[in-house]
Chain A
Amino acid sequence: GAVVSQHPSWVICKSGTSVKIECRSLDFQATTMFWYRQFPKQSLMLMATSNEGSKATYEQGVEKDKFLINHASLTLSTLTVTSAHPEDSSFYICSAIPSGFGETQYFGPGTRLLVL
């Protein structure tokens, strides 16, 4: 149980385009999901906390207009990287906490984004 999926697993796009990444909790409902990015050989950096039915809470230094987060249902959160640039190339990982069991975060497999 507690499986989180991400789609796509990797994406290559041209500079200036937008990319949408989906995060789904497959066998549980998640009121809260999180989005992280991870650069090579570095730890996870929290970008934002996504709450179902409300606006996401962004960490300091993360541009909310660039990284659009939508948590429209209890099993789906999306991250859209708008007007992507090469410096946005990274590994994006989501996690989810099962509703009612707010202790453990389960992580998705990650999405590798390469902006050319």
Chain B
Amino acid sequence: QKEVEQDPGPLSVPEGAIVSLNCTYSNSAFQYFMWYRQYSRKGPELLMYTYSSGNKEDGRFTAQVDKSSKYISLFIRDSQPSDSATYLCAMRVLLGAQKLVFGQGTRLTINP
């Protein structure tokens, strides 16, 4: 079993829809959670990070963490064609090794 599971999609939704992207994890030592956006042939770009359960909002993006269920989500409101990209969840333990464990990434397409 992978430490981090993420549905690779592809996911296709119409412009303006609310998008929900999810990851589950098995390692309870993970305390720090991130979402990255990666456009084709580019490096990942950090979108959101959080280390506590609950919601964190930044503009159209909301990151949600449920440590009891080992489940994290990223919501995108009022989705735009420019949001079309691959979204990667990543996580790490809070102390010690700084390396990230990534999900497989979900390919998202927003249709005009």
Number of B residues with CB within 8 Å of any CB on chain A: 20
Judge if A67 is at the interface, Cβ distance under 8 Å: no
Contacts of B88 in A (CB 8 A): 43-44
Contact assessment for A104 and B41 in the assembled complex, using a CB-CB cutoff below 8 Å: no
Q: Which parts of A82-116 form the interface with B (CB within 8 Å)?
A: 91, 93, 95, 97, 102-110, 112
Q: Taking A106-B46, A108-B43, A112-B41 as contacts, is the C-beta distance between A46 and B100 under 8 angstroms?
A: yes
Cα A107 to Cα B42 with chains together (Å): 10
Q: Taking A43-B88, A44-B88 as contacts, is the C-beta distance between A107 and B45 under 8 angstroms?
A: yes
Contact assessment for B98 and A109 in the assembled complex, using a CB-CB cutoff below 8 Å: no
Contact assessment for B41 and A91 in the assembled complex, using a CB-CB cutoff below 8 Å: yes
Judge if B61 is at the interface, Cβ distance under 8 Å: no
Contact of B102 among A44, A97, A106, A108 (CB under 8 A): A44
Judge if A42 is at the interface, Cβ distance under 8 Å: yes
Contact assessment for A107 and B43 in the assembled complex, using a CB-CB cutoff below 8 Å: yes
Cα A46 to Cα B41 with chains together (Å): 17
Least CB distance, A42 to chain B, in whole angstroms? 7
Contacts of A49 in B (CB 8 A): 98-99
Contact assessment for A32 and B98 in the assembled complex, using a CB-CB cutoff below 8 Å: yes
Least CB distance, A84 to chain B, in whole angstroms? 20
Contacts of B99 in A (CB 8 A): 34, 46, 49
- Using a CB–CB cutoff of 8 Å, the interface residues on chain B facing chain A are 8, 32, 34, 36, 41-46, 49, 88, 98-100, 102-105, 107
- Using a CB–CB cutoff of 8 Å, the interface residues on chain A facing chain B are 4, 6, 32, 34, 41-44, 46, 49, 91, 93, 95, 97, 102-110, 112
Closest 7 CB pairs of A and B: A107-B43, A109-B43, A110-B43, A107-B44, A43-B102, A43-B104, A44-B102
Jot down 18 A-B pairs with beta carbons below 8 A, ordered by A: A4-B43, A34-B100, A41-B8, A42-B105, A43-B105, A44-B44, A44-B88, A44-B102, A46-B99, A49-B98, A93-B44, A95-B43, A105-B46, A105-B98, A107-B45, A107-B46, A109-B42, A110-B43
